[in-house]
Structure 1
Amino acid sequence: MLKLVGSALVIFSCTMIGLIMAGYYQHRPKALRNFQTALSMLETEIDYGQSPLPEALNNVSKRCDPTISMFLRKVRQLLLSMEGYTASEAWEISLNEFKSQIPLNDSDFEILTSFGKYLGSSDKEDQIRNLKLTLSQLKQQENLAVEEKNKNEKLWKYLGVLTGLTLVLLLY
């Protein structure tokens, strides 16, 4: 009886590890799309609404994904604080704070960090160009993420179950 319970726990834990790894591949394309949507709205706010950056961030944060919304509100909060953060610093601090909550890889964060370096430091036309460049880079990353998802999601699910079964067979 004890061996049976132990075997079930090994299979269950290995399966869960596989599902967690598969979940990363499943959620990354969605997170990239959510960032693209938020940046598109920010572009509209800057270009057509001609809103100041804190106001534009507030308007966008009200209409986007909850995790991205919290990120944008944190950027806005840092901008409006009396500590004198620049837009670039506020973006980078917030990005580092939310890194563990957003399922993106290092190259995705590198794109977002490089976008933040030019945020609020030039005129409207340069901001729009920077936004469009970042959007196109995020679109490319999304396409790669979808390919990785298609290739690796099932692999990790099956690998978790099969690893658990193999361990159980080896232990008997």
Structure 2
Amino acid sequence: MRPEGTNGTSGGELLVPMAWMYAEYIADELLRTGDLMPPTTLEFRAGRNALALTIFLSDGAVGGARVVARLDEWSSLTAAGRPWHGWVRERLREREAAGSGPDLALARDAWRWLEETELLAADLDAVVPGGVDPRAEAEDEPRVWTPAWELGLPLGHLAIHLF
């Protein structure tokens, strides 16, 4: 990533987005451990971006055994019915007000992708208990276009629980 500027404490060197990269690494590991989908899918990317944003915006990632201590916090933030979407928007605004940097730029890019990308997913509102024929082909299921964050968030939440 190109530096946004060369003044400050970097000594004119390339600014490296370590906080974002570490949050993304932890999110990637959680999803891979959960083995919910192949890492090459857009669904995996949605889950990784949602988890990375959660980790990054919850005051950053931590290393080693302290990651396990943060799992409950991340699980709570990604739980169904929680205002995660609004929480992300507010935390990004707070971070932007405090200044910008390469970490924040990558977080904004991930958020933009999650908001602007739609994925074709099963329509859970159309599923009626007992109304699904287990012999039916997957293509016969009702599907809708869903914002990537709405699909990635529950996948990330599930990955935390499977860790």
**Common fold: TM-score over 0.5:** no
Larger relative strand fraction: 2
Q: Decide which structure has greater helix share.
A: 1
Higher relative contact order (CA 8 A, sep 6+): 1
Return the TM-score normalized by structure 1.
0.34
Higher alpha-carbon Rg:
1
